[in-house]
Amino acid sequence: MAILTITERLENVQTLIQDIETNGQAYRNDGRSFTKADLAVLYRQEARLLAQYNAENNGKGRNLVKFKDPV
């Protein structure tokens, strides 16, 4: 199991957020309903990871993320 860097984790969370914002939070497949990760939780995780990234990089990551209002 690989240990991800803060940048990799942040990119993963942002990819999940983008997928939910683009394609919706829930879907059906073969008559079964599925719900993706909670968007509000992902926004909080994104903010925490961005703060951690900024702390480790002296604030150089301010432009890594588009800022959103948390749900």
Residue 35: its pLDDT value, please? 87
Q: Within a domain: residue 18?
A: yes
Residue 65: its pLDDT value, please? 53
Residue 69: its pLDDT value, please? 54
Place of tokens 């909080």: 44
Residue 1: its pLDDT value, please? 73
Residue 37: its pLDDT value, please? 87
Per-residue pLDDT of the chain (71 residues; tens, 9 = 90+): 789 999 999 999 999 999 999 999 888 899 999 888 899 999 999 999 999 999 988 766 555 555 555 55
For 11, the token pair is 């990119």
Give the number of domains in the chain. 1
- Rg (the chain; Cα; Å): 14
Instruction: Print the domain residue range for 27.
Output: 6-56
Q: Within a domain: residue 10?
A: yes
Q: Within a domain: residue 29?
A: yes
**CATH number of domain containing 49:** 3.30.1580
